Amino acid sequence: MKMNKSILIIDDNLTVCLMLKSWLVKKGFQVETASGANEARQRVKEQPFDLILTDIRMPEADGLSFLSWVRKYDSDIIVIMITGYADVESAVLSMKAGAADYIPKPIEPEHLFNKIEEAFQTQEYKQKRNRFSNDFIKPPGKEYQLLFNQLDQIAEQSEHRLLIGDRGTGKASAVKYIYEKGIHHSRPLIMLDADQLVSNRIGSRQQADSGEGGSLLLEKFNAARGGLFHIRKVDQLDINFQNQLLNILTKQARDENFTQVIMSTEKSRLSLEKTLIPKLFRLIEEGSVTLPTLKGKKQVINYFISYFLHFANHTLDKQIKSIDQVIYQQMYDYAWPGNIQELKNTVIKAALLTDGNHMPACIAPGLFGKDSLKQKSDSAEPILILDLRKENYEKEKILEALKLAKGNKTMAASILNIDRKTLYNKIKLYNVTT
């Protein structure tokens, strides 16, 4: 069983809460308690719990209605119901509604531990089978065949490389592909946004030049020891950190602790050459890989539509089997400035606006850009898809992702291409009301 998982216990009996908390803390879990549904909702909004143990009978709401709220708010949270003898029928209904399991009172410690372990294992197996949101997808065509051949070579030879691609083309997913193909799973994958170094002024000139502690660049590189270190927006490194990175790339020994470094940028080669010091540019430009864009590629767009519709059906519990030709044509004609990520968001939005198993032509006018957005009904709010990709407005991106996902944190995290714990941290950082 993986430790450091967070669990919320909900029971109006304080003695029961404290007893269960004591057992679980000794097993290495992080545990919080709540006495009722209102308190529990607030705690779930503040923290990305991995599992909830809740009494099926509680003040303010019954277990089934609370379960329904959790499934809509953050579908990655596992829920196990605690039942009395007379509530077993309700517990079975709760499992049909999405609960992972139920456990009867009086609770035996080992029985509880086994139920929790089984629930986490089941979730892990399910996630391995359904890795739609993070896989680097391989559409048909020679362009992507060449791209994957290049990525395979980078992984097999453990080479330092530069990935160039417009926003939304899948740079982070390509790095993950390289990592999973070439690095042992026990070794880390660490990511750093280069603009963090600049904006936070981390590391003085002396620290950057000497390579001594205090630099976030070195700190992250050391954390990736033996694995893969991904530096995003490498064009935003200042000259001190460029020199430091050059030292890392040229002086690192090829031993068991060798760390592969992959850099990525949205800038062109010409722009990058003007930004980076010559030695660093020449080193990372050789063998660089450019990721394809979507504009005008009907076969590739078709493939991604099918893939993301499968993802949307699975995640949103939809059964959409067909798409009107009007929507297909609009997607073929659109320029896709946000590329794969924008296409994914658009398919998800279209799925949310669809009732039944056919995606109708009537939703087409509202799928692209803020000027053409229309509401499906009085309860639906405009969703600005393009605004999700504004790099300098994270709070706005989070708000729009939450609108698009109708408040579901798991889906919103997928839209933003971050994990749910990072989303919770950013919601708290920017004081986003959910």
CATH number, position 154: 3.40.50.300
Residues 177 and 283 in one domain: yes
Q: What is the pLDDT of residue 299?
A: 95
Residue 186 within a domain:
yes
Do the domain assignments include residue 77? yes
Clarify whether residues 31 and 49 are in a common domain: yes
Average pLDDT of the residues in 114-126:
86
Domain closes at, from 94, 129, 164: 129
Domain boundary among 255, 290, 325: 290
Quick one: 270 and 333 in the same domain? no
Residue 78, domain CATH:
3.40.50.2300
* Sequence-ordered list of residues with C-beta below 8 angstroms from that of 215, at least 6 positions apart, any chain: 197, 202, 203, 207, 208, 241, 244
From its phi and psi, is residue 226 left (phi > 0), alpha (psi between -120 and 50) or beta?
A: left
Residue 30 lies in a domain: yes
The domain in which residue 212 lies consists of 142-290
pLDDT, tens digit, 9 for 90 and up, residues 194-208: 877 765 544 444 444
Looking at the structure of the chain, the number of domains it has is 3
pLDDT higher than 80, residue 182: yes
Provide mean pLDDT across the span 146-162.
93
- Whole-number Å distance between alpha carbons of 158 and 160: 7
306: domain CATH number is 1.10.8.60
Residue 325 sits in the same domain as residue 411: yes
137 belongs to a structural domain: no
| Last residue in a domain, options 129, 151, 181 | 129
Do 392 and 349 belong together in one domain?
yes
Q: Are residues 154 and 264 in the same domain?
A: yes
**3-class DSSP string for the chain:** CCCCCEEEEECCCHHHHHHHHHHHHHCCCEEEEECCHHHHHHHHHHCCCCEEEEECCCCCCCHHHHHHHHHHHCCCCEEEEEECHHHHHHHHHHHHCCCCEEEECCCCHHHHHHHHHHHHHHHHHHHHHCCCCCCCCCCCCHHHHHHHHHHHHHHHHCCCEEEECCCCCCHHHHHHHHHHHHCCCCCCEEEEEHHHHHHCCCCCHHHHHHCCCCCHHHHHHHHCCCCEEEEECHHHCCHHHHHHHHHHHHHCCCCCCCCEEEEEECCCHHHHHHHCCHHHHHHHHCCCEECCCCCCCHHHHHHHHHHHHHHHHHHHCCCCCEECHHHHHHHHHCCCCCHHHHHHHHHHHHHHCCCCCEECHHHHHHCCCCCCCCCCCCCCCCCCCHHHHCCCCHHHHHHHHHHHCCCCHHHHHHHHCCCHHHHHHHHHHCCCCC
- Please report which confidence band the pLDDT of residue 85 belongs to, taking 50, 70 and 90 as the band edges: low
One domain, residues 283 and 315 = no
Is 305 within the bounds of a domain?
yes
Residue 132 identity = F
The stretch 242-261 carries a mean pLDDT of: 92
> Is residue 434 situated within a structural domain?
no
pLDDT mean over 97-118: 91
Segment 319-376, tens digit of pLDDT: 999 999 999 999 999 999 999 989 988 998 899 889 899 999 998 887 875 433 333 3
Could you tell me the CA-to-CA distances from 401 to 369, 394, 415 in Å, in that order?
14, 10, 6
My answer on whether 273 and 330 are in the same domain is no
Average pLDDT of span 203-227: 67
Instruction: Check whether residue 168 and residue 267 sit in a common domain.
Output: yes
163/161 Cα distance (integer angstroms): 7
404 domain-assigned: yes
Is residue 29 over pLDDT 70?
yes
pLDDT at 210 over 60: no
Higher model confidence: residue 377 or residue 176? 176
Q: What is the pLDDT of residue 304?
A: 95
In this structure, the answer to whether residues 189 and 94 fall within a common structural domain is no
Q: Predicted confidence band at 384 (pLDDT cuts at 50, 70, 90)? A: very low
Q: Are residues 200 and 282 in the same domain?
A: yes
Q: Are strands 161-164 and 260-265 parallel, antiparallel or unpaired?
A: parallel
Q: CA-CA distance, 387 to 335, in Å (whole number)?
A: 15
In a shared domain, residues 120 and 37: yes
- Angle at 303 (CA atoms; ends 299, 305), nearest 5 degrees: 115
Share of the chain above pLDDT 90, in %: 50
